[in-house]
Structure 1
Amino acid sequence: MTELSVDLRDRIESRHRSGEGYRKISAALKVPMSKVASIIRKWKKLGPTRTLPRVGRPARLTHRGRRALVRVVTRNPMVTLTELQRCSMKRGEPSRRTTISAALHKSGLFGRVARRKPLLSKKHMTARLEDSQTMRKQILWSDGTKIKLFGLNAKRHVWRKPGTAHHLATTIPTVKHGGGSIMLWGCFSAGGTGRLVRIEGKMNAAMYRDVLDENMLRNAGPTVHLPTGQRPEAHSQDNKGVASAQLCECPCVAQPEP
């Protein structure tokens, strides 16, 4: 809404001082009653009715104008800045391209190059989803992890003043030789989780192969919904360290016949 002149605001204040009500002032001066109430509230709180100094130049786009731009972009993500300029001008808020772009950035919308994807019909999407859901039920995922018994390996950020880097509250306590750790191996699938196996000693390719031999088929039945002893169609692992050794090619995955 257009800002009222200082003279008109003074007249509203004067009439209010003389005892007139909001409705009577609104009818006499042709000003909305909500605006009259707002000016009087400001006068009671701050004193003068003049416009107080603002922090920086007022924004070119109003909140309503910014929301309108967001609605246009949400409906049509391919709209250009030139077209948005025309929309803004029709609403009576002519703005530069940079102004419109900054307003969209504040709303979390950024200009990016569109990715290319194969054109799929609903039939294709349904078929792909069904295939992936069927295949997912036949896959067994496994991984190992090392857990420290004391402290954390991850970095921690703290708020501190200069010279307090070694204060107790801003440091992470450690112990000699790391405090020990345990290594665990586990697996899961669409049907649930399998047994959690503790690895004793240092893991190598032969030990990892023994873990797979002893635990993979045992977990395949209850987790992948296969009869006991039947091999899953696929086994997924990270292929890091011992898992990438040729000796550790998964013995439980059904191999295609030659």
Structure 2
Amino acid sequence: MARRRLSEAIRWQIIGGMHATGASFKAIGRQLGYHYTVISRLVRKHRQTGAVKDRPKSGRPRVTSEREDRALLRIIRREPFSTSTVLKRTWLPNRHLSTRTVRNRLKAAGMAARRVIKRPRLTDDHKRRRLAWCLARQRWNLRTWRRIHWSDESRFLLHVTDGRLRVWRHRNTAYTPRNIRQTVPFGGGSVMVWCCISHDCKLDLVTTRGNLTGDQYMRHVLEPVVVTHFDNHHLPQDPCTWMITPGLIDPGQ
């Protein structure tokens, strides 16, 4: 039978009241309904520690060692998208561990299953070119930036299966490359959307079904939208000059 515990209020009542008045352990036990040994242990604990609370219990022994826990973290660093069910089989295949044990070990290491950040796949060449672009313009002033027109196109999938995916990671590491699920554009029915903005204007939104080819880009975007926009702004030069420079159109057209 489990031992009946003394509440903290009753413990202080025994120490500060009954025992202080000279009552015996047996008399206190009879009055409160406890065996006198319970009262004597409480008084002895108070004399030794000055407290009446129980010491922390050791609890249930761990089923894994620190070395095994480190092995789990190595697996997670290699395969951060693994579920706790998969980890249970690959971590210690000869041990009968629960998925809760796996999650507890990862949480103890400061990790949690969080939503995966998805970003377009970037090759090393993409990264080098983006960095070079930024470095070449790092000293531009606000007046220069306000003259820039920003354009971009994006594909919106009409039919996509996007199941929720979680990744085991530490806090503030969402954008660490190994924690990002890279996506590949296109696939399935889609609509391509193009737009251009600047500091003081916004061009018309252009939408096309399917792929936006070079010819479609000229007929649906550059000629009717971009060229018209710059022509209306009375540029001191031919409105197509800025497109010829980067090789967007053939100068002979």
Relative to the length of structure 2, the TM-score reads: 0.33
Q: Which has the higher contact order (CA 8 A, sep 6+)?
A: 2
